[in-house]
Amino acid sequence: MPHAPRAIIHVDMDAFYASVEERDDPGLVGKPVIVGGLGRRGVVSTANYQARKYGVRSAMPTSEARRRCPQAVYIHPRHERYAAISAVVFDVFAEYTPMIEGLSLDEAFLDVTGSLRLFSSVEVIGRRIKDSIRERTGLNASVGMAHNKLLAKLGSELSKPNGFLVIRPDEVRGYLDPLPIGRMWTVGKVAEEALHRVGIRTIGDLLRADAWRLNKAVGERHAAQLRALCVGEDERPVVADAPEVSIGAEWTFDVDVDDLAIAEAWMLRQCERVGARARGRDVKARTVAVKLREPPFVTHSRQAQLPVPGNATPDIYAVARRLLNVWWHQHPRPRLRLLGVTLSGFDARHGDEQQDMFAAPAAEKRSDGVQDRINERFGAGALVRAGVLKTRGRE
């Protein structure tokens, strides 16, 4: 007996970081806004649609963005602020289904199949979600709806910005066939170039291609997968409550750091960031890893275990600082272009869990809590540890 069709929604916030900045400062509305690293080695995190008209894109070096759009307003990311707005958006999702697969702060898949008994259609749910996000945050979300993840995501992409599109089973070929083959999931640059060499440039071209040509370009296994995807088949489930894999923060320096005290101050700054995020998500980490990049691009990674799983900044910094010091003293002329710290190996926290006698002292936990509340209210960096002050003026 065939399964009833699923109802999948893909929600993607439009130019999320830049839109939050415009929301908080209405004077930015109508101007090109670019959020990203502001130094010589910075990269663009998000550009609003006014800036994209000049060819500015995410992951572009900020220096290139400045050449293309010198009149833009350039803003350093406020990750804690974006996380707070994201939490409001995900609260909206939870009102319609527990089946939420978050892909990032601003993007998620929702399986609302079980909610159709309460609402007349997937479009009704999608419209309610879109309107609720707008009412509670002042931001636009693009919403795609279909019977699988591939097509739901395509719906949000094709209708951006401020999009709303449902792709029904009998409309799949009409939407897919004209699209460049590089738009298809699993087709990277190498596969795209190989397909172009055998005359396959659109999804429709691939479906019309003979097996020999397609197998020659990408191999028999990938060819079979692509044929299924190109007719809109996708059985991937929405994976709810996917465990957090890692939480990281890093910084690329405009001028290489050759002073250990300054490097330690930057390490503390990153530990404050990841600690706050871990506490905000109510998870405890087992592993602390540091990322150390020498100029020009030689990257070293070191990691160690916390004595007990935790998320207190002093505990994280103690491990990260030790790893940094060991690496530093192993090199005759240490210099850093980039420094980062990542937490992983998470245990979900439970209110009734037994307290470990070796856990961080209550005073340290209280200081983290006070710092988190002040920074949440007044903005990231409003309250920092004294050691971080050495990084001020060096951004």
Binding-site sequence positions for Mg(2+): 12, 106
* Binding-site residues from annotation: 12, 106
Q: Which residues, 6+ apart, have CB-to-CB distance to 75 below 8 Å?
A: 18, 21, 33, 34, 35
CA–CA distance, 392 with 387 (Å, rounded to integer) = 10
Count of C-beta atoms within a 10 Å radius of residue 326? 12
CA distances from 151 to 90, 147, 169, 264 (A): 21, 7, 10, 47
Treating both helix axes as pointing N-terminal to C-terminal, what angle do 79-94 and 16-24 enclose, rounded to 10 degrees? 100
CA 32 distance to own-chain centroid:
22
> How is residue 314 written in tokens?
């002093």
Taken in order 251, 255, 260, 265, the sign of the CA dihedral is negative
Q: Which residues contact 217 (CB under 8 A, 6 or more apart)?
A: 191, 194, 195, 197, 198, 200, 223
Residues 6+ apart with CB under 8 A from 333: 258
Asked about 123 being catalytic, the answer comes back as no
Please answer whether residues 281 and 275 qualify as being in contact, where contact means their C-beta atoms are separated by less than 8 angstroms.
no
Q: What gap in Å lies between CA 391 and CA 269, rounded to an integer?
A: 8
Q: What are the start-end ranges of the E strands in the chain?
A: 8-13, 33-36, 44-47, 73-75, 100-104, 107-111, 141-146, 164-166, 246-257, 283-294, 298-310, 336-344, 347-348
C-alpha–C-alpha distance, residues 200 and 209, integer Å: 7
Phi/psi-derived region of residue 211, left when phi > 0, alpha when psi is between -120 and 50, beta in every other case: alpha
The catalytically annotated residue of 22, 80, 101, 107 is 107
In this structure, is the dihedral angle defined by the CA atoms of residues 236, 242, 245 and 246, taken in order, positive or negative?
A: positive
Please give the positions annotated as active site. 107
